[in-house]
Amino acid sequence: MKLFFSKENKIDLIGLLVGLIMLFIFAYIMMPNWPFIFFTAAMVFTSTLYFFIMVDEAFLKNDNKRLNKNNVLDYIISKNLFVIIFSSSLFGIVMILSSAVNSNYFDSEFLTYILIYNLFTLGADKIIFIFHNNPVKSYASGVERDIQNDIDSGVKKFIDQIPSLIIIGIFAILFFVMGYQPSIYFSFYYYIICLITLIYFLSKKKSTKK
């Protein structure tokens, strides 16, 4: 994940993180009666992060140089651990900073639900990735921006993520409209099954590739 934290992306990453943290803090504090909005946004963020490190052309170019049938397991595990740790850390920071305003805002159960919903989202994203893994053009880094290029890249990334957004919409209906509340154990089971499925298909693909 050195590319994610590279010197060239440092300014962009810091700005993005600060903006996301402030946005999630605002949603958490100002909309306590609509937690489904926060949860849905969390699922979208986690899914976007996952596909960013999986199909962004800069990451793919770097990964394809080293990826082979012998290191598929390490590749998949490292990518997924990064997404889970990064997203969990971000939402943990949101909780901690929110509790600085009011200690009652720190809610471990709320964090658990975020993890449950994110595991469902990431599980589905693995199945989507098996069939939908074309590279997506990277954003240009740095302060000097090409607005049109950023818009074009953003539109392409949005179109590429439509399958995942549809699944998130289905999950949102299942969890927040129909009231289904899965346990943390079931979400881990679902996630692991999807993870194993992706590892199997990617290993098979690399084994048959000439």
Angle between helices 57-64 and 35-55 (to 10 degrees): 50
Cα–Cα separations (whole angstroms), residue 118 to 87, 131, 139, 202: 9, 20, 25, 22
Dist. CA 125–CA 165, nearest whole Å: 10
Structure tokens at 196: 């194993």
**What letter represents residue 8's amino acid?**
E
Closest by alpha carbon to 40, among 189, 171, 132? 171
Inform me whether the pLDDT recorded for 196 exceeds 90: yes
Angle between helices 35-55 and 72-101 (to 10 degrees): 150
Under DSSP, the state recorded for 34 is -
160 and 51 in contact (C-beta within 8 Å)? yes
First to last CA, the chain: 27
Dist. CA 190–CA 161, nearest whole Å: 21
Dist. CA 83–CA 115, nearest whole Å: 11
Angle, vertex CA 53, rays to CA 172 and CA 158, nearest 5: 50
Inform me whether the pLDDT recorded for 12 exceeds 90: no
Q: Name the more confident of 70 and 166.
A: 166
182 and 120 in contact (C-beta within 8 Å)? yes
- Given this model, what pLDDT does residue 146 score? 60
The mean pLDDT of 57-82, rounded to a whole number, is 80
**What letter represents residue 80's amino acid?**
N
The mean pLDDT of 108-116, rounded to a whole number, is 90
168 and 43 in contact (C-beta within 8 Å)? yes
113 and 28 in contact (C-beta within 8 Å)? no
Helix (H, G, I), strand (E, B) or coil at 210: coil
- Given this model, what pLDDT does residue 10 score? 62
Q: Name the more confident of 148 and 76.
A: 76
Banded pLDDT at 47 (limits 50, 70, 90):
very high
pTM of the predicted model over 0.75: yes
Inform me whether the pLDDT recorded for 2 exceeds 60: no
Least confident range from 52-56, 78-82, 89-93: namely: 52-56
- Given this model, what pLDDT does residue 175 score? 93
The mean pLDDT of 134-161, rounded to a whole number, is 67
Cα–Cα separations (whole angstroms), residue 173 to 80, 169, 179: 25, 6, 8
Q: Name the more confident of 102 and 179.
A: 179
Dist. CA 55–CA 202, nearest whole Å: 14
